[in-house]
Amino acid sequence: MTDEEVEEVKEALLSGWITTGPRTKELENRMADFCGTQRFVCLNSATACMEMTYRLLGIGEGDEVITTAYTYTATSSAICHVGAKPVMVDILGDRVYEEKRYIGHSPYEPDYDAIDEAFTERTKAIAPVDIAGVMCDYERLTEIAVSHADEFTPSENRIQKAINRAVILADSAHGLGASRCGKMSGQAADFTSFSFHAVKNLTTGEGGGVTWKKIDGIDDEDIYHDYMILSLHGQSKDALEKTEIGSWEYDILYPGYKCNMTDIQAAVGLAQLRRYPDLLKRRRELISLYDEGINRINELLEADAAAKKALPVTSLAHYTGDSTSSGHLYLIRLGSLTHEERSKVIVRMAERDVATNVHYKPLPLLTAYKKMGFKMEDYPRAYQYYENEITLPLHTLLTDDDVAYVLDVLTDAIRG
């Protein structure tokens, strides 16, 4: 946070308008410009954006949504919130090194063949996740959805009817500003959700946004309007519209939800978005420092018998041929360390004030999903990639010296 955010928030607070209003609308317009899309909706979280999108699409009870086991619960919770069934697939994992067709793909992308196989006549959507800000292969996902179009029976929902195949709803909570094959995150999937949660690249404290590709036969303004009604009690006019002269009257079309963004949040977002190109640039610099450092660690520890099991240290590639990530998370994996050994490295690093994290504990390891019948053994690559993963600190207040310190501490922890 800088004085820019502070000034914007101060102006919002003193403007006489603190809930959804002119600043939220401005942020939506600027986000659409940034993503290269026509329309953008800001709500109070990415989770709400995903849930409202399923509702907009009329997806619910009796429907299935194919998603990945390697994500944060929000991806799957939103599916459960609307009463649909999450169907999880494994990740690509080491297949990206073993199969030529996956060169340049991230191992954390979903296993596209498994998605293809998971299709049933109840599949209404696919929810891939752009882990760490690296975009999935949306061309492949669209091909898969199109190839199953003849099994797809739309409900009465007009958007389902217009798309007439499973909808691709990207969880790009991490991916604002990423691109792949010349398309920005937001332009590649049918619908794309972003998170502006406190730890995300661009934050509004809490918040999220959703954008979509043009759908033949559907007016973007109608979709925008539907999101507004869904996210504000089913009310036919929002607070700003009601302030227009003679416009006090409103209707409630159905008992809707309440997940709008406030203008205070939008004020933070507006300042963050102005700074965002510089923030993305700094992330890229930090990632390149980490990448060089990881190479050095592998060389340095090559002959060190005590370190053998933790080698090689590998890191997720963020900037490859046709893919530019948003540089959200720096994921590394430590050779063939077990879960317990990985935890020791985390503790040793924490003892020297380096806070690391693990992204992610696959969903089938969590109580909620175990209770639904998901079993970790059905997702061996997700487990393999989770077991020895550590996420190093990555944020724009890190100095080059901080990165060097993190790498030193990591080296010592591995030696230990």
List contacts with ligand PLP (CB under 6 A). 45-47, 71-72, 74-75, 129, 171, 173, 195, 197, 208
Q: Give the integer Cα–Cα distance in Å for 272 and 2.
A: 9
Report, in Å, the least distance between residue 92 CB and ligand PLP: 17
What the block records as the tokens of 406 is: 């993190």
What the block records as the tokens of 135 is: 């975009």
Report, in Å, the least distance between residue 206 CB and ligand PLP: 7
Whether omega before 22 lies within 30 degrees of 0, making that bond cis, reads: no
Report, in Å, the least distance between residue 126 CB and ligand PLP: 15
Q: What is the three-class DSSP state of 39?
A: coil
What value, to the nearest 5°, has the Cα angle with vertex 133 and ends 54 and 322?
Answer: 110
- Taking the least distance from each CB to ligand PLP, the nearer of 261 and 279 is 261
Q: Are 279 and 396 in contact (CB under 8 A)?
A: yes
Could you give the angle at which helices 400-415 and 263-301 cross, rounded to 10 degrees?
Answer: 50
- Taking the least distance from each CB to ligand PLP, the nearer of 92 and 414 is 92
What value, to the nearest 5°, has the Cα angle with vertex 194 and ends 290 and 163?
Answer: 130
- Taking the least distance from each CB to ligand PLP, the nearer of 34 and 72 is 72
Q: What is the three-class DSSP state of 22?
A: helix
- Taking the least distance from each CB to ligand PLP, the nearer of 71 and 325 is 71
- Taking the least distance from each CB to ligand PLP, the nearer of 45 and 325 is 45
Report, in Å, the least distance between residue 71 CB and ligand PLP: 5
Report, in Å, the least distance between residue 228 CB and ligand PLP: 19
- Taking the least distance from each CB to ligand PLP, the nearer of 160 and 325 is 325
- Taking the least distance from each CB to ligand PLP, the nearer of 363 and 410 is 363
Exposed / middle / buried, residue 177 (Cβ in 10 Å: 0-12, 13-18, 19+):
buried
- For 41, the enclosing helix (H) or strand (E) is strand 40-43
Contacts of 103 (CB under 8 A, 6+ apart): 96
Report, in Å, the least distance between residue 216 CB and ligand PLP: 29
- Taking the least distance from each CB to ligand PLP, the nearer of 78 and 270 is 78
Report, in Å, the least distance between residue 411 CB and ligand PLP: 28
Q: Are 398 and 287 in contact (CB under 8 A)?
A: no
Q: Are 23 and 260 in contact (CB under 8 A)?
A: no
- Taking the least distance from each CB to ligand PLP, the nearer of 72 and 374 is 72
- What are the CA-CA distances from residue 333 to residues 75, 98, 385, 386 (Å)? 23, 18, 7, 8
Report, in Å, the least distance between residue 340 CB and ligand PLP: 25
| Residue closest to 386 by CA, chosen among 359, 368, 367 | 359
Report, in Å, the least distance between residue 348 CB and ligand PLP: 26
